[in-house]
Amino acid sequence: MTPGARIAATIEILEKIQRSGSPAEDVVSAYIRGRRYIGSKDRRAITDRVFHILRRQARLNWLIGENGSRASVIADLLLSDRTSREEFSIIFNSEGYSPTELTKDELKLLAKLKDTSFKDISYPQQIKAELPEWIAKKLSPIWGVNFLSEAIALNQPAPLDLRVNTLKGDCARALMVLQKDHIEAEPTTLSPFGLRIKNRVNLQASTALKGGFVEIQDEGSQLIALLVETKADMKTIDLCAGAGGKTLALGAVMKDGGPLIACDTDEERLKKLKPRLRRGGVSNVTRHLLTNDNDPWYDQHATTAERVLIDVPCSGSGAWRRAPAQKWRLTAERLKELIDLQKKIMNKAVDLIPSGGRLIYATCSILPDENEHQIEWFLKQYSEFNAMPISQIWERVIGTDCPKNAISNDTYLSLTPARHNTDGFFVAVLERNNS
């Protein structure tokens, strides 16, 4: 592809992301899959620039106004690459697959920005943080003096983590299989079953993934499954299983014992779990599609589950480093809808748990509205539940001391990219009192 064609593709993808509600990564993948002529170097160049712009969108909008994807790309070429006027005329030349020539307004924009640098501007705090102002106001009092460093880490590219499938071997064997695929990895610092890939690789084509020796899963997500503290003979329910990443991890923790039930309201997501179970050698999982709030399944399993994991639908704010466009789509109204849904799921989950059983509440969120505030609400509603100190469970199941900076309110797990180099996660373990 010519430089102009790459830039035209970047503009088109950014426009599709703006119109779509899908994660940027999905939009980019779909675009490239539909254009087989795009080579690997071109794919990387286009993808890198798309995400580079998405991670600087607040600063770009501050400098140029919300003038669309084309203006953002033009500004980024100047501010990031210091593209010259002559180079602009080559890229934007209307020939072949190149973008149309620069307009008078775009030439004025270049003149306005010619002596500007991303780093030299005195941006407002939320612009430096690359966050919507209403989100910044929520997080600033929580993070305090660390607000900016936490926010910046939330805007950096995320590493690729793997969970070793202990049903097929230990970390040493997984590393050996990866090495045969010419993939370099190293153990993660928190999860005993985690590996972090060192470089960009085509993991989908690897023997390690296709053979079920590893699964793609963020280190923080691996910890959630461990903190469920389940065993082979404990009835365990993953009530919001989705495509089943944590279900697979629970299956390994339970050594393929059971029963382990994976539930979801989305049939397509549950279907995607089936081949993953087969690949991972997990046979103890029963899948169930929840049809509605009055599904008879709830009555059939009332007060029978010793462990119920609810990885509830949430803002996904803990994973914004993977999906930077999503932060601009979240609204206060949508957050309220999610909070109400989370409470609804907690209310349904309670009936599944007998005395002595546990409800494990988890989110991929860094917002207190979805985390600590929800547990405060729950404990007021259900006085028969107590919040268990995460540090004690951590020591039992992981065998190390829980990092002090990972504990919220002396009780819950709170992970962030800045402090732990994981996605942002929250976990509360709630035990029903014996009666």
Query: For residue range 59-73, what is the model confidence (pLDDT) as tens digits?
Result: 999 999 888 999 999
**What value does the mean pLDDT of the chain take?**
94
What's the CA gap between 6 and 29, in Å, rounded? 15
243: confidence class by pLDDT, cuts 50, 70, 90:
confident
Q: What is the pLDDT of residue 57?
A: 93
Stretch 21-37: mean pLDDT, rounded?
88
299-328 pLDDT per residue, tens: 999 999 999 999 999 999 999 999 999 999
114: confidence class by pLDDT, cuts 50, 70, 90:
confident
What's the CA gap between 6 and 43, in Å, rounded? 9
Pull the structure tokens for residue 425. Answer: 């996660």
Q: What percent of the chain has pLDDT over 70?
A: 100
Q: What percent of the chain has pLDDT over 90?
A: 87
Q: How far is CA 366 from CA 142, 347, 370, in A?
A: 10, 22, 8
Residue 116 predicted with pLDDT over 70: yes
The domains found in the chain, sorted by start residue, are 3-123 (no CATH), 219-432 (3.40.50.150)
Q: What is the pLDDT of residue 327?
A: 95
Residue 341 predicted with pLDDT over 90: yes
What's the CA gap between 402 and 334, in Å, rounded? 33
Residue 120 predicted with pLDDT over 70: no
Residue 337 predicted with pLDDT over 70: yes
The structure tokens 């805007």 sit at 155
Residue 279 predicted with pLDDT over 70: yes
Of 38-42, 90-94, 206-210, 347-351, which range is least confident? Answer: 38-42
Stretch 363-370: mean pLDDT, rounded?
97
In contact, 227 and 392? CB cutoff 8 Å: no
Of residues 199 and 372, more confidently modeled: 372
Residue 119 predicted with pLDDT over 80: no
Stretch 91-118: mean pLDDT, rounded?
91
Pull the structure tokens for residue 292. Answer: 């509605």
The phi, psi pair for 25, rounded to 5°, reads -60, -40
Residues 6+ positions from 256 with CB-CB distance below 8 Å: 167, 232, 281, 282, 283, 284
Residue 191 predicted with pLDDT over 70: yes
Residue 261 predicted with pLDDT over 90: yes
160-184 pLDDT per residue, tens: 999 999 999 999 999 999 999 999 9
What's the CA gap between 151 and 24, in Å, rounded? 19
Residue 435 predicted with pLDDT over 80: no
Residue 226 predicted with pLDDT over 90: yes
Residues 6+ positions from 205 with CB-CB distance below 8 Å: none
What's the CA gap between 97 and 95, in Å, rounded? 6
Pull the structure tokens for residue 331. Answer: 């609204």
Of 40-54, 63-77, 115-129, 378-392, which range is least confident? Answer: 115-129
Of residues 21 and 90, more confidently modeled: 90
Of 18-32, 215-229, 291-305, which range is least confident? Answer: 18-32
Residue 115 predicted with pLDDT over 90: no
What's the CA gap between 420 and 406, in Å, rounded? 8
What's the CA gap between 310 and 427, in Å, rounded? 10
The type of residue at 124 is P
74-94 pLDDT per residue, tens: 999 999 999 999 999 999 999
Kindly tell me the burial class for residue 259, based on how many C-beta atoms sit within 10 Å of its own C-beta (0-12, 13-18, 19 or more).
middle
Pull the structure tokens for residue 209. Answer: 């993934």
195-223 pLDDT per residue, tens: 999 988 889 889 999 999 999 999 999 99
